[in-house]
Amino acid sequence: MASLKNIVRINPNKIEIKLNGPPGTDHFIADNILHFSKKLKKEEPYNCTEKVYPLKIILTPKSNNPHLDLNTNESYTLEIIYEDDTITASINAYSIFGIRHGLETLFQLIIPYEDGNQKCIATLSYVYISDKPVYKHRGLLLDTGRNFLSVDTIKRHLDGMAASKLNVLHWHITDSQSFPLEVGRLPNMTKYGAYSEKHIYSESAIKDLLQYANRRGVRILPEIDAPSHAGNGWQWGEEAGLGNLAVCINRQPWRSFCIQPPCGQLNPTNQNLYSVLKDLYSHMRDHFPDTGMFHMGGDEVFIPCWNSTQEIIDYLRGKPLTTETFLDLWGEFQRKALAAYDRAFEHEDTSIVVWTSHITQPEVIRKYLSNERYIIQTWVPESNINLITELLKLEYRVIISTKDKWYLDHGFWGSTLYYNWKTVYENKMYKYNHEGILGGEVCMWGELVDDNNIDSRVWPRAAAAAERLWSNPRSTAEFAQYRFFAQRKRLVDLGIHAEALTPKWCVDSQGECKTYL
Amino acid sequence: MASLKNIVRINPNKIEIKLNGPPGTDHFIADNILHFSKKLKKEEPYNCTEKVYPLKIILTPKSNNPHLDLNTNESYTLEIIYEDDTITASINAYSIFGIRHGLETLFQLIIPYEDGNQKCIATLSYVYISDKPVYKHRGLLLDTGRNFLSVDTIKRHLDGMAASKLNVLHWHITDSQSFPLEVGRLPNMTKYGAYSEKHIYSESAIKDLLQYANRRGVRILPEIDAPSHAGNGWQWGEEAGLGNLAVCINRQPWRSFCIQPPCGQLNPTNQNLYSVLKDLYSHMRDHFPDTGMFHMGGDEVFIPCWNSTQEIIDYLRGKPLTTETFLDLWGEFQRKALAAYDRAFEHEDTSIVVWTSHITQPEVIRKYLSNERYIIQTWVPESNINLITELLKLEYRVIISTKDKWYLDHGFWGSTLYYNWKTVYENKMYKYNHEGILGGEVCMWGELVDDNNIDSRVWPRAAAAAERLWSNPRSTAEFAQYRFFAQRKRLVDLGIHAEALTPKWCVDSQGECKTYL
């Protein structure tokens, strides 16, 4: 803030909000105003004796549509004008979600302004911003299958996402370790699959969480990973007279039957499995908003599991036990799982996301997955850009999660490396823009995090990915550094235990720590 | 807990403590009993309907000496006997600190015991343990020079240290970035050196912290790093008519004058510096207990800083500006700083710890540092065992901080790697025991941590180092795994945001995740 003349001090006790829009947006707007006010109060104690001015905020959404999906218009304009001793901030947007983004930007433009011992808050005397995201799908993956995360922890992440304009929480709910999602129709899923009664997302908790996410402008993309990464929770088939719904569950030695303990893989040869999947998908239909998108996982099928299961070998009726045979079996599973989904939802146009795997290789993908129905989430390293190019050529839509930049669990196991915020920021996404690229996600796999340590693994790095996805700037992380330090402070003020990025001296002494860290 | 017959259930409402010892230990013991009881209450809700038995704890210290130093006898015996419907736990020790260790072990032996829906706590019906540490100096370094840590954060670490039987908090108080220690005699140190008024350790905070540490069985080893790693806080010499106490302060471009911004190095040629140091050391004498040990830092002197300062070149009166000349100057600083220390303390037998550096190289060390006065803290990689051997041959005492195993800041900057708990655990310390090895320290350098994220960087890894230092077992981390998972839970129960080590499934399913993570 070089020039005083461009700065106006705000009277935080005189903030007036006016809502100009169609009916039905009051709850959404009221909740966001409350959130905005709470954040503003986190700023330094206010003891400003200089002249301060009232701030009037005028919010004008065009639509009252409360549903978020891939095509929600998130653009907004923000104009700040100081005249006649009043500061007026006008936010115009098509959707209420655009309005929310505008409020977030306004909050970022209100900063502490110290003058001797006085602490004021101030903003610029004139601003005009017309803003919209480069990518529609800007996500963070949280994994509650490996380790449970409390609803409070998930909400804290939703706050961080909102502050960073991320709009998709990809929720990898279940895995072979546990099945924490309460499913009324299928109570055995948590009876067998939850770590304990305390480690369950009840239907009421889900309802609360979904509303909270919506208010923060975040759509939840649930993932029920299948046919691999499924084990605990699926043990009750025999007992219920349905046969084995899954095989290799908790089988040892685990290295022979899966890539990570405990083992488990759904049994594609058991036709009852598809009825159970339909029940599960019906539950998703009833308890999650239909955003037109669902994640079926579909990664890391471990052939030696199926290949060592007599029931599955019998089903294959003497076919050669080759990779191709098992890929066909997997394809059959995927076809039947999709049919179960479509029956549950009673429409056939949900976009199904799956991870890149053997079955999504360009040579075979068309045999198994329609490019109209499937979105491919790529997790290949940045160097393997060819795969993305091939998938785009085949007219698949893709979501990019560059493994060697955006996998937030790396650095703590095997020979993986930690990616600091600058590396995360400088992930190229792709060499050129292509409308088939819906966006990207940073992924916080859950093996080595729980409520105690997840915050600092995710934050502020996810905010670096957020800027990449929102504006995809040509400039470097070094250029964004001071803005990023400020964003880290905002996250800490939200109660997020975000990682420290540098000694405080470097935060306070802008420009004095060039090329350091 | 395989066999029920060896287990006795405890009535947590009937725990009686008897203190059998010399007078003067009541406060220490009472505080530790309170801490013990609080920790016990953190266990699962108690709804035991089985027969439970009272627990009588008899504490018998021989000495009432409240001072901790390198030679404190920390040994203890613990005997648990179940007879006549009472459980009696007797802890005998020479010192009250040994008693404290015994209580810690007793706490570890009281574990939740679930039987159907019942939750009880239980212990073994007979135990006899005679225990003492392999190494006398078992430390954790915290750094409050780069980023400030609140007193609460330091206390949380003291709790974790106590739970792990670490006994030295090496407090790297100051660095070139900031000087947060209030020094009544030298108010300019914090006036110029603290990040803000909120980022100061006041004399009363220090007093509180020191008592808290003592009660947790932890000795504080303060470090005032010099002559390098000193800058902010030392700017006031000219103004006070004392000349430049330090040079190169905040000088740019920083890469030319230091290894990390901001630059700064004490001015060894200014004789007033030594008076100021004497005042500083007098403050240490008055406000810290005299444990017979002090850390003077002494690492990473950056010759181009002194070599580009006219005042220093003038002082060298035409000597060739070679490394040797500057080493001699550094040696002169060290000799005069030690003299200032001895004058302040009025005795000449404090052991001074310094980091390995140019000046501690075996070829030159005897020229500059007496092996009677100096302890060398080695931070060379495990492969550089020769240096340790050489220093031991020269009859220096050493403290080992193996950089590529025990530097807890690694993995997040440059090409450093993260060391998981197994790597920390398996640090060899040294190929053979040698009485010159006092022990070791894990080091949490502060550039990338503050109150928000330090817990999970330190814990539970520091507990892995603690076992290495306490018992130096021949067995592997894999063998210690389940015991370590339990220790991690104890740390979490203390309010420490310790890192998750594995999926909860692997914690709950002992032995099922062999060789994983």
- Whether B447 and A503 lie within 8 Å, measured CB to CB: yes
pLDDT at residue A207, rounded to an integer = 98
Q: What is the dihedral of CA A397, A101, A288, A72, to 10 degrees?
A: -50
pLDDT at residue B119, rounded to an integer = 87
| CA dist., res. B503 & res. A177, Å (int) | 7
- Whether A503 and B232 lie within 8 Å, measured CB to CB: no
What six digits make up the tokens of A126? 């004139």
Phi, psi (degrees; rounded to nearest 5) at B332: -65, -45
DSSP per-residue letters across B366-381? HHH--TTTEEEEE---
Pairing of strands B437-444, A397-400: unpaired
pLDDT at residue B198, rounded to an integer = 96
The H or E element spanning position A271 is: helix A271-287
**ipTM of the prediction:** 0.96
Q: pLDDT-based confidence at A4, cuts 50/70/90? A: low
What six digits make up the tokens of A64? 């009252």
- Whether B504 and A178 lie within 8 Å, measured CB to CB: yes
Test mutation, B195, B232, B493, B504, chain A, max A CBs within 10 A:
B504
**B227: preceding bond cis by omega (within 30 degrees):** yes
Within 8 A of A146 by CB-CB distance, chain B residues are 503-505
Does the model's pTM come out above 0.90? yes
DSSP state letter for A231: B
Strand partners, A124: A7
- Whether A232 and B505 lie within 8 Å, measured CB to CB: yes
* Residue among A260, A500, A509 minimizing CB distance to B449: A500
* Residue among B456, B502, B514 minimizing CB distance to A453: B456
Catalytic residue among A300, A390, A426, A499: A300
Mean residue pLDDT of chain A comes to 96
- Whether A413 and B512 lie within 8 Å, measured CB to CB: no
Å from B28 to nearest chain A CA? 31
- Whether B250 and A513 lie within 8 Å, measured CB to CB: no
Q: Residue A379: helix, strand or coil by DSSP?
A: coil
From its phi and psi, is residue B61 left (phi > 0), alpha (psi between -120 and 50) or beta?
A: beta
* Whether B441 contacts B140, CB under 8 Å: yes
Look up A300 and say whether it is catalytic: yes
- Whether A497 and B453 lie within 8 Å, measured CB to CB: yes
Catalytic residue positions of B? 300
Sorted by where each begins, the domain ranges of chain B are 7-131, 137-508
Number of helices and strands (H, E) in chain B?
17, 17
What six digits make up the tokens of B66? 């409240």
Å from B308 to nearest chain A CA? 20
| CA dist., res. A142 & res. B85, Å (int) | 51
pLDDT digits (tens, 9 = 90+) for B54-105: 999 999 999 999 999 999 999 999 999 999 999 999 999 999 999 999 999 9
| CA dist., res. A57 & res. A12, Å (int) | 12
Over range B306-317, report the average pLDDT: 97
Cβ neighbors of B318 (< 8 A, separation 6 or more) are none
Q: What is the dihedral of CA B69, B70, B71, B77, to 10 degrees?
A: 90
Over range B290-319, report the average pLDDT: 97
- Whether A508 and B195 lie within 8 Å, measured CB to CB: yes
DSSP per-residue letters across B266-324? E-TT-HHHHHHHHHHHHHHHHHS---SEEEEE-----HHHHHT-HHHHHHTTT----HH
pLDDT digits (tens, 9 = 90+) for B241-263: 999 999 999 999 999 999 999 99
- Whether B177 and A497 lie within 8 Å, measured CB to CB: no
pLDDT at residue B1, rounded to an integer = 37
Within 8 A of A513 by CB-CB distance, chain B residues are 254, 261-262
Over range B313-329, report the average pLDDT: 97
Range with top average pLDDT, A21-25, A352-356, B429-433 = A352-356
Over range A24-48, report the average pLDDT: 87
Q: Residue B223: helix, strand or coil by DSSP?
A: strand
Task: Give, to the nearest 10 degrees, the angle between helix B461-471 and helix B477-493.
Answer: 120
- Whether B517 and A446 lie within 8 Å, measured CB to CB: no
Test mutation, A147, A255, A258, A456, chain B, max B CBs within 10 A:
A456
User: Which CATH number fits the domain B7-131, given the four candidates 3.30.379.10, 3.30.9.10, 1.10.3720.10, 3.40.50.880?
Assistant: 3.30.379.10
The H or E element spanning position B12 is: strand B7-19
* Residue among A450, A455, A516 minimizing CB distance to B260: A516
Residue B116 has pLDDT above 90, yes or no: no
Look at the domain B137-508 and name its fold.
TIM Barrel (3.20.20)
pLDDT at residue B47, rounded to an integer = 81
Cβ neighbors of B4 (< 8 A, separation 6 or more) are none
B414 burial (CB, 10 Å; 0-12 / 13-18 / 19+) is exposed
Test mutation, A152, A156, A412, A452, chain B, max B CBs within 10 A:
A452
**A473: preceding bond cis by omega (within 30 degrees):** no
**Taking Cα atoms as reference points, which of A59, A32, A74, A61 lies closest to residue A167?**
A74
pLDDT at residue A45, rounded to an integer = 64
Residue B301 has pLDDT above 50, yes or no: yes
What six digits make up the tokens of A364? 């075979």
| CA dist., res. B128 & res. B92, Å (int) | 11
- Report the alpha-carbon angle A263-A268-A271, nearest 5: 130
Amino acid type, A501: L
- Whether B502 and A262 lie within 8 Å, measured CB to CB: no
* Residue among A253, A448, A496 minimizing CB distance to B501: A448
Q: What is the dihedral of CA A362, A367, A369, A372, to 10 degrees?
A: 90
Q: Residue B199: helix, strand or coil by DSSP?
A: coil
Residue A43 has pLDDT above 70, yes or no: no
Mean residue pLDDT of chain B comes to 96
* Residue among A254, A417, A504 minimizing CB distance to B195: A504
The dihedral through the CA atoms of A448, A453, A458, A460 has a sign that is negative
- Whether B503 and A254 lie within 8 Å, measured CB to CB: no
Within 8 A of A147 by CB-CB distance, chain B residues are 500, 503-504
**Taking Cα atoms as reference points, which of B126, B127, B114 lies closest to residue B43?**
B114
pLDDT at residue A115, rounded to an integer = 76
| CA dist., res. B423 & res. A424, Å (int) | 27
What six digits make up the tokens of B487? 């220790």
pLDDT at residue A1, rounded to an integer = 37
* Whether B59 contacts B20, CB under 8 Å: yes
Q: pLDDT-based confidence at A42, cuts 50/70/90? A: confident
Over range A79-94, report the average pLDDT: 97
* Whether B210 contacts B153, CB under 8 Å: no
pLDDT at residue B45, rounded to an integer = 64
* Residue among B148, B254, B504 minimizing CB distance to A504: B148
* Whether B443 contacts B397, CB under 8 Å: no
pLDDT digits (tens, 9 = 90+) for A355-365: 999 999 999 99
Test mutation, B44, B149, B452, chain A, max A CBs within 10 A:
B452
Cβ neighbors of A320 (< 8 A, separation 6 or more) are none
**B12: preceding bond cis by omega (within 30 degrees):** no
Test mutation, B179, B445, B456, B494, chain A, max A CBs within 10 A:
B456
* Whether A452 contacts B498, CB under 8 Å: yes
Å from A252 to nearest chain B CA? 8
Residue A2 has pLDDT above 60, yes or no: no
Chain A's closest residue to B252, CA to CA, is: A512
pLDDT at residue B2, rounded to an integer = 40
- Whether B500 and A260 lie within 8 Å, measured CB to CB: no
Phi, psi (degrees; rounded to nearest 5) at B318: 80, 0
| CA dist., res. B247 & res. B311, Å (int) | 9
What six digits make up the tokens of B314? 């003038």
Å from A506 to nearest chain B CA? 8
B280 burial (CB, 10 Å; 0-12 / 13-18 / 19+) is buried
| CA dist., res. A352 & res. A374, Å (int) | 5
Q: pLDDT-based confidence at B498, cuts 50/70/90? A: very high
Strand partners, A80: A89, A127
CB pairs under 8 A between A and B: 145
| CA dist., res. A491 & res. A497, Å (int) | 8
pLDDT digits (tens, 9 = 90+) for A104-146: 999 999 988 887 778 889 999 999 999 999 999 999 999 999 9
* Whether B442 contacts B403, CB under 8 Å: no
Question: For chain B, what is the radius of gyration of the CA atoms?
Answer: 25
| CA dist., res. A358 & res. A366, Å (int) | 12
CB atoms < 10 A from the CB of B378, how many?
23
* Residue among A177, A255, A517 minimizing CB distance to B413: A517
Å from A307 to nearest chain B CA? 22
pLDDT digits (tens, 9 = 90+) for A398-411: 999 999 999 999 99
Residue with the larger pLDDT of the pair B428 and A79: A79
- Whether A147 and B509 lie within 8 Å, measured CB to CB: no
From its phi and psi, is residue A233 left (phi > 0), alpha (psi between -120 and 50) or beta?
A: left
Q: What is the dihedral of CA A147, A209, A29, A467, to 10 degrees?
A: 30
* Residue among B261, B417, B503 minimizing CB distance to A513: B261
Task: Give, to the nearest 10 degrees, the angle between helix B151-164 and helix B461-471.
Answer: 40
Q: pLDDT-based confidence at A517, cuts 50/70/90? A: confident
Q: What length is written for chain A?
A: 517
DSSP state letter for B230: -
Residue B43 has pLDDT above 70, yes or no: no
Å from B435 to nearest chain A CA? 35
Within 8 A of B417 by CB-CB distance, chain A residues are 417
Question: Between the CA of residue A503 and those of A111, A336, A473, B140, what are the distances in Å?
Answer: 21, 55, 26, 20
The H or E element spanning position A9 is: strand A7-19
Question: For chain A, what is the radius of gyration of the CA atoms?
Answer: 25
Within 8 A of A195 by CB-CB distance, chain B residues are 504-505, 508
* Whether B503 contacts A447, CB under 8 Å: yes
Q: Residue B506: helix, strand or coil by DSSP?
A: helix
What six digits make up the tokens of B180? 């947060």
